[in-house]
Amino acid sequence: MPKDWKELSEAVRREQDPQKLLELVEELDKALEQHEKAMKEKNRSPHENKTDNRSNPPHSLLPDVIPMSA
């Protein structure tokens, strides 16, 4: 039985039986969701939520209007 999303996508491509195809597509959907979640976790900064916000204030702390010289 295929395990990862790449193997599942290949199995979907080859499958002829409509019922088996549906089952494989559902399995592929779950595998892709897990892969996406894993990639987001992997790409998350290790010091996220620990940064000093004073050096990069949120937009709400910035002035609404910046005067322009004529």
The answer to whether 12 touches 25, Cβ cutoff 8 Å, is yes
Position 34 scores a pLDDT of 92
Position 36 scores a pLDDT of 92
Query: Cα 45–51–56 angle (5° rounding)?
Result: 110
Name the residue with tokens 């609404």.
64
Position 25 scores a pLDDT of 94
**54 phi/psi in degrees, rounded to 5:** -70, -30
Ordered per-residue pLDDT tens for the chain, 70 residues: 457 889 999 999 999 999 999 999 999 999 999 999 999 988 886 665 555 555 555 555 555 555 556 5
Cα separation, 30 vs 41, whole angstroms: 17
Position 29 scores a pLDDT of 94
